[in-house]
Amino acid sequence: MEKIILASSSSRRRNMLKKYNMFFDTIVSDIAENINENKFPEATVMSLAFQKAIDVSKKIDSNNIIIAADTIVYLNGEIIGKPKNEVEAKEILKKLSGQTHSVYTGIAIIRANTNEKIVDYYKTEVKFRKLDDEMIEKYISISEYVDKAGGYGIQDKGELFVESINGSYSNVVGLPIVKLDVLLKKYFQISLM
């Protein structure tokens, strides 16, 4: 069986794949996640995921399957990535408060050292409840915002912010698992089940 490489430092993505008894190694990409504010969110996440996959493919010799992903939050025409610090995290959560934002995840799957590749994305709509300053302060104090697009984790205490979602829950966590399974089956004859 072909070896799978997850091109991600995300423990959330690793845990999602482990749930399906998928045997894989992790190699972290060294690309800078530069977000161009003028790009479309779909193009941004697909480009970043593809750059991660290509970067990791250069670090290996065999024809392994590489899975890479990138997630952003999109609100009112603005791409929102990971907050750099507490101040930025507070500003982001205040923007998201009482609003419906979109979570986009780009997926790139490539077979290293070949031209086989597929790049796609998934979008989920997330409705936030109205957040008061005390709730935001408490959330920031537990540092859950760190390394998370939009400054929150739906799989952790950030779920208290989410009134409803339309689309894939796993996408909001960082990897649309059904979309990934469909792409793996269709293009690489690999199933998560």
| Rounded Cα–Cα distance for residues 94 and 121 (Å) | 27
The DSSP letter of residue 9 is -
> How distant, in Å, are the alpha carbons of 30, 91, 95, 151, 188 from that of 7?
10, 30, 30, 22, 17
Type of residue found at 130: K
Q: Which of 46, 50, 48 is nearest to 35 (CA)?
A: 48
Mean pLDDT computed over 123-136 = 97
Q: For the chain, what is the mean pLDDT? A: 92
Sequence spans of domains, the chain? 4-188
Mean pLDDT computed over 107-118 = 92
| Rounded Cα–Cα distance for residues 184 and 25 (Å) | 17
pLDDT at position 23, please? 85
Is the CB of residue 184 less than 8 Å from the CB of residue 178? no
pTM over 0.85: yes
Q: Which one of 3.30.110.40, 3.50.50.60, 3.40.190.290, 3.90.950.10 gives the CATH number of domain 4-188?
A: 3.90.950.10
Encoded tokens for 110: 């490539």
Residue partners of 63: CB distance under 8 A and separation at least 6: 2, 111, 112, 113, 114
The DSSP letter of residue 167 is S
Is the CB of residue 37 less than 8 Å from the CB of residue 74? no
Mean pLDDT computed over 71-95 = 93
Distance of CA 97 to the CA centre of its chain: 21
Could you tell me whether strands 162-166 and 117-128 are parallel, antiparallel, or unpaired per DSSP bridges?
Answer: antiparallel
147 part of the active site: no
| Rounded Cα–Cα distance for residues 13 and 7 (Å) | 10
30, 61, 70, 132: which is the annotated catalytic residue? Answer: 70
Q: What percent of the chain has pLDDT over 70?
A: 98
